[in-house]
Amino acid sequence: MVLADKLTKAFPTADGEKRAVDELSFRVGAGEIYGLLGPNGAGKTTTLRMLSGMITPTGGSATLAGFDVAAHPFEVKRILGFLTANTGLYQRLTPRELLTYFAELHGRERREATARADELIDWLDMHEFAHLRCGSLSTGQRQRVNIGRVLIADPPILIMDEPTLGLDVLSNRLILDFIRRAGQDGKTILLSTHYLDEAETLCHRIGFLHHGRLMAEGTLGELRQRTGEQRLSNIFLKLAAEGDGAAVLHRPTGAPVS
């Protein structure tokens, strides 16, 4: 469903260039929840932005449901929902107006867009505040509006960049429930997070990113077996220490990349 093949993003610097993502290859199967883990500056956000068509790769390729992100960015965006914890809302629009707007941007006619917005308002139980301006909503209510926005085109693939970062317990719970429910509904989810416990409970497979490269990937069991550590945080620390010492410790065991 999601396939990255030697995906690279280099930014020019005064000395030459800096590779934020360096020949990254991995695959996420249909209906799978894949966790992308790594410290700050590892290249997670850049990877997700490339996969969602927001920025262009400088090398390699990536496809979502068979669509190349560089060649067919709009097809990719049609089958994609993108969410981060920092995603804002238009403060002066109501949730109903906002959802209708995004439905229209996804190609629906006004009447269809309004119907889809109402459907999501029902589903996410937003009736109480659907007519209020987003600027006056609580954090939890805003997160629900954001989830509605992500689901507006009912996308089969969800990309989430640290979706719970800085949220309170209730909002955090709301997002995690949503991810779990979306996974059960068969959506393919690519999740980047700092919270290792979240990855441990949610993800089918996990990839460790360090200095723009994939150090290791696999199920939690595979990673435990490989490192001899039980806790994900310890697995991560061990891999990172080895990675700093000797470039890439281990080639991914995941998908064959061709």
Partner 1 sequence: MSFRHRVRTIYGKELIDLLRDRRTLIAMLIVPIGLYPLLMLGSLQAISVQTQTLGRRAIVVGGIGGPDGAQAQMLTFIRDEYERLRAAQDQTKPATQPAEPQQDPPSRGDAARDPARSGEAGQPVDGDTSKIDEGALPPLDLTWMPCEDRDRIEALIRERGIHVGILFEGPISADPALPTRVQLWYDQEEARSATGYARLTDMFAAVEERWNAQRRRQLGVPDTFFQPFAIAGKNLASPSSVLGQILPLILVLMTITGAIYPAIDITAGERERGTLETLLVCPVPVLDLIVGKFLVVTTIAILGATLNLASVCATVYFGGFNELITTTGTGVPYGQLALILLCLVPFAVLMSAIMMAVCSYARTFKEAQNYVTPIILAVLIPGGVAALPATELTGVMLVMPVGNMVLLTRELLVGAMVRTGDLVTVLLSTTLYATAAVAAAAKVFGKESVVFADVQSLRGTFDRRLIRPSGKPSLTMALVVTALLFPGWFFLQSYLQTSRPDGADLMVLRKTFAFMPVLFVVLPALVLTYWKVDVRRTFSLSPPAMSGVLGAVLIGATSWIFAVEIGMLQDAVFGMSDIAKDSAEALEKALVSLSEPEMLLLMAVIPALSEELLFRGFLLTALRGPAGRTVSILTSAVVFAVFHFILAKLPVTFLLGALLAWVCWQTRSIWPGIIVHFLHNGIITMSTLRPSWVAWLPMEMDGQPRHLPWSVLLPGAAVFVAGCLLVQRAARRGEPPGASAPG
Smaller CB separation from partner 1, 149 or 205: 149
Instruction: Out of 27, 44, 49, 210, point to the residue binding partner 1 (CB under 8 A).
Output: 49
Is 11 one of the binding residues for partner 1 (CB under 8 A)? yes
Could you tell me which stretch among 50-58, 61-69, 172-180, 249-257 binds partner 1 (CB under 8 A)?
50-58
Nearest one of 57, 61, 177 to 125, comparing CA atoms: 177
For residues 177 and 142, what is the distance between their CA atoms, to the nearest angstrom?
A: 15
**Shortest CA distance to 188 belongs to which of 51, 25, 29?**
29
Q: Could you tell me which stretch among 77-85, 163-171, 172-180, 213-221 binds partner 1 (CB under 8 A)? A: 77-85
CB 153 within 8 A of CB 185: no
Distances (CA, A) of 89 to 67, 84, 93, 246: 29, 12, 8, 44
Segment contacting partner 1 (CB under 8 A): 23-31, 33-41, 51-59, 212-220?
Answer: 51-59
Question: Is 36 or 50 the residue whose CB approaches partner 1 more closely?
Answer: 50
**Burial letters 227-252, b for 16+ CB under 10 A, else e:** bebeebeebbebbbebbeeeebbbeb
Q: 35, 38, 43, 53: which one contacts partner 1 (CB under 8 A)?
A: 53
Site for partner 1 in 85-144 (CB under 8 A): 86-93, 97, 101-102, 104-107, 133
Nearer to partner 1, 99 or 235 (CB): 99
Asked if 204 contacts 33 with a C-beta cutoff of 8 angstroms, the reply is: yes
- Contacts (CB under 8 A) with partner 1, residues 13-32: 13-14, 20
State the residues that interact with partner 1 by CB under 8 A.
11-14, 20, 46, 49, 52-56, 74-75, 77-78, 80, 82, 84, 86-93, 97, 101-102, 104-107, 133, 149
